[in-house]
Protein backbone atom coordinates (compact mmCIF):
# COMPACT_ATOMS: atom_id res chain seq x y z
CA UNK A 1 0.00 0.00 0.00
CA UNK A 2 0.90 3.66 -0.54
CA UNK A 3 3.82 3.02 -2.95
CA UNK A 4 4.94 6.13 -4.80
CA UNK A 5 5.93 9.78 -4.61
CA UNK A 6 4.25 11.08 -1.42
CA UNK A 7 2.94 7.62 -0.45
CA UNK A 8 0.72 7.86 2.66
CA UNK A 9 1.67 11.47 3.44
CA UNK A 10 -0.55 12.66 6.35
CA UNK A 11 -2.74 9.58 6.56
CA UNK A 12 -4.08 8.82 10.06
CA UNK A 13 -6.65 6.17 9.14
CA UNK A 14 -6.20 2.63 7.94
CA UNK A 15 -4.95 2.03 4.42
CA UNK A 16 -5.95 -1.35 3.00
CA UNK A 17 -3.81 -3.50 0.76
CA UNK A 18 -3.13 -2.39 -2.80
CA UNK A 19 -4.29 1.16 -2.06
CA UNK A 20 -3.08 4.66 -3.01
CA UNK A 21 0.03 3.84 -5.06
CA UNK A 22 0.99 6.58 -7.47
CA UNK A 23 2.07 10.20 -7.82
CA UNK A 24 0.62 12.05 -4.77
CA UNK A 25 -0.81 8.87 -3.27
CA UNK A 26 -2.94 9.39 -0.14
CA UNK A 27 -1.79 13.02 0.30
CA UNK A 28 -3.60 14.54 3.33
CA UNK A 29 -6.19 11.83 3.88
CA UNK A 30 -7.38 11.47 7.47
CA UNK A 31 -9.77 8.55 7.14
CA UNK A 32 -9.70 4.92 6.06
CA UNK A 33 -8.99 3.94 2.46
CA UNK A 34 -10.37 0.70 1.05
CA UNK A 35 -8.56 -1.99 -0.88
CA UNK A 36 -7.50 -1.06 -4.41
CA UNK A 37 -8.52 2.59 -4.10
CA UNK A 38 -7.06 5.92 -5.27
CA UNK A 39 -4.60 4.45 -7.78
CA UNK A 40 -3.27 7.09 -10.09
CA UNK A 41 -1.84 10.53 -10.57
CA UNK A 42 -3.27 12.72 -7.81
CA UNK A 43 -4.70 9.81 -5.81
CA UNK A 44 -6.67 10.81 -2.68
CA UNK A 45 -5.39 14.42 -2.42
CA UNK A 46 -6.80 16.40 0.53
CA UNK A 47 -9.52 13.78 1.12
CA UNK A 48 -11.09 13.82 4.60
CA UNK A 49 -13.77 11.20 4.11
CA UNK A 50 -13.57 7.43 4.10
CA UNK A 51 -12.89 5.93 0.67
CA UNK A 52 -14.37 2.49 -0.03
CA UNK A 53 -12.78 -0.34 -1.98
CA UNK A 54 -11.86 0.19 -5.65
CA UNK A 55 -12.83 3.87 -5.60
CA UNK A 56 -11.38 7.12 -6.93
CA UNK A 57 -9.41 5.37 -9.63
CA UNK A 58 -8.38 7.89 -12.25
CA UNK A 59 -6.09 10.73 -13.21
CA UNK A 60 -7.15 13.22 -10.55
CA UNK A 61 -8.89 10.72 -8.24
CA UNK A 62 -10.59 12.32 -5.21
CA UNK A 63 -8.86 15.72 -5.47
CA UNK A 64 -10.18 17.94 -2.63
CA UNK A 65 -12.97 15.49 -1.76
CA UNK A 66 -14.49 16.05 1.70
CA UNK A 67 -17.25 13.42 1.69
CA UNK A 68 -17.33 9.66 2.19
CA UNK A 69 -17.00 7.64 -1.01
CA UNK A 70 -18.50 4.13 -1.05
CA UNK A 71 -17.12 1.09 -2.90
CA UNK A 72 -16.48 1.22 -6.65
CA UNK A 73 -17.29 4.92 -6.97
CA UNK A 74 -15.69 8.00 -8.56
CA UNK A 75 -13.87 6.28 -11.39
CA UNK A 76 -12.85 8.29 -14.43
CA UNK A 77 -10.74 11.32 -15.23
CA UNK A 78 -11.79 14.14 -12.87
CA UNK A 79 -14.69 12.20 -11.34
CA UNK A 80 -15.58 13.68 -7.92
CA UNK A 81 -12.68 16.16 -8.01
CA UNK A 82 -14.32 18.99 -6.06
CA UNK A 83 -17.06 16.95 -4.41
CA UNK A 84 -18.02 17.83 -0.83
CA UNK A 85 -20.67 15.21 -0.09
CA UNK A 86 -21.30 11.48 0.32
CA UNK A 87 -21.09 9.34 -2.83
CA UNK A 88 -22.91 5.99 -2.88
CA UNK A 89 -21.63 2.65 -4.11
CA UNK A 90 -21.05 2.41 -7.85
CA UNK A 91 -21.76 6.10 -8.48
CA UNK A 92 -20.01 8.88 -10.39
CA UNK A 93 -18.51 6.79 -13.16
CA UNK A 94 -16.94 8.39 -16.29
CA UNK A 95 -15.04 11.62 -17.00
CA UNK A 96 -16.16 14.64 -14.95
CA UNK A 97 -18.98 12.70 -13.24
CA UNK A 98 -19.86 14.43 -9.95
CA UNK A 99 -17.12 17.00 -10.46
CA UNK A 100 -17.99 20.09 -8.36
CA UNK A 101 -20.95 18.21 -6.88
CA UNK A 102 -22.43 19.84 -3.75
CA UNK A 103 -25.05 17.28 -2.66
CA UNK A 104 -25.28 13.64 -1.59
CA UNK A 105 -25.45 11.00 -4.33
CA UNK A 106 -27.03 7.57 -3.74
CA UNK A 107 -25.91 4.22 -5.12
CA UNK A 108 -25.51 3.45 -8.84
CA UNK A 109 -26.18 7.07 -9.83
CA UNK A 110 -24.46 9.72 -11.96
CA UNK A 111 -23.11 7.35 -14.56
CA UNK A 112 -21.96 8.93 -17.82
CA UNK A 113 -19.61 11.63 -19.06
CA UNK A 114 -20.36 14.84 -17.11
CA UNK A 115 -23.25 13.19 -15.26
CA UNK A 116 -24.07 15.29 -12.17
CA UNK A 117 -21.36 17.82 -13.03
CA UNK A 118 -21.98 20.96 -10.88
CA UNK A 119 -25.02 19.29 -9.32
CA UNK A 120 -26.60 21.01 -6.27
CA UNK A 121 -29.56 18.71 -5.55
CA UNK A 122 -29.69 15.43 -3.62
CA UNK A 123 -29.72 12.42 -5.93
CA UNK A 124 -31.20 9.09 -4.82
CA UNK A 125 -30.34 5.57 -6.06
CA UNK A 126 -30.18 4.47 -9.72
CA UNK A 127 -30.67 8.00 -11.07
CA UNK A 128 -28.98 10.44 -13.47
CA UNK A 129 -27.72 7.83 -15.89
CA UNK A 130 -26.50 9.02 -19.28
CA UNK A 131 -23.97 11.50 -20.61
CA UNK A 132 -24.66 14.94 -19.06
CA UNK A 133 -27.62 13.61 -17.07
CA UNK A 134 -28.37 15.97 -14.16
CA UNK A 135 -25.70 18.40 -15.37
CA UNK A 136 -26.23 21.63 -13.40
CA UNK A 137 -29.22 20.16 -11.59
CA UNK A 138 -30.44 21.90 -8.41
CA UNK A 139 -33.61 19.91 -7.65
CA UNK A 140 -33.87 16.72 -5.59
CA UNK A 141 -33.94 13.59 -7.74
CA UNK A 142 -35.75 10.46 -6.47
CA UNK A 143 -34.91 6.80 -7.24
CA UNK A 144 -34.68 5.60 -10.84
CA UNK A 145 -35.23 9.05 -12.35
CA UNK A 146 -33.48 11.17 -14.98
CA UNK A 147 -32.24 8.44 -17.28
CA UNK A 148 -31.00 9.46 -20.74
CA UNK A 149 -28.52 11.88 -22.27
CA UNK A 150 -29.06 15.38 -20.84
CA UNK A 151 -32.00 14.12 -18.73
CA UNK A 152 -32.72 16.67 -15.97
CA UNK A 153 -29.86 18.91 -17.10
CA UNK A 154 -30.15 22.37 -15.55
CA UNK A 155 -33.31 21.18 -13.83
CA UNK A 156 -34.40 23.15 -10.74
CA UNK A 157 -37.51 21.15 -9.78
CA UNK A 158 -37.82 18.07 -7.61
CA UNK A 159 -38.20 14.89 -9.69
CA UNK A 160 -40.27 11.95 -8.42
CA UNK A 161 -39.27 8.29 -8.70
CA UNK A 162 -39.28 6.89 -12.21
CA UNK A 163 -39.80 10.27 -13.91
CA UNK A 164 -37.82 12.00 -16.68
CA UNK A 165 -36.81 8.97 -18.72
CA UNK A 166 -35.34 9.57 -22.19
CA UNK A 167 -32.82 11.86 -23.84
CA UNK A 168 -33.36 15.53 -22.88
CA UNK A 169 -36.23 14.59 -20.54
CA UNK A 170 -37.05 17.33 -17.99
CA UNK A 171 -34.21 19.54 -19.20
Over residues 147-164, the pLDDT tens digits come to 999 999 999 999 999 999
pLDDT at res. 159 = 98
The CA–CA distances, whole Å, from 32 to 35, 37, 55, 146 equal 10, 10, 12, 32
Q: How much is the pTM?
A: 0.85
pLDDT at res. 46 = 79
The Cα–Cα gap between 92 and 31 comes to 20
Please check whether residue 89 is in contact with residue 74, taking contact to mean a CB–CB distance below 8 angstroms: no
The Cα–Cα gap between 120 and 133 comes to 13
Amino acid sequence: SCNGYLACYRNTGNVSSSACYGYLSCTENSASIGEGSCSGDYSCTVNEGTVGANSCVGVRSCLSNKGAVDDSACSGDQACIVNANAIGEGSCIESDACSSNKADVGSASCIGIQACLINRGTIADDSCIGNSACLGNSGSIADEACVGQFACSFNSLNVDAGECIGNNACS
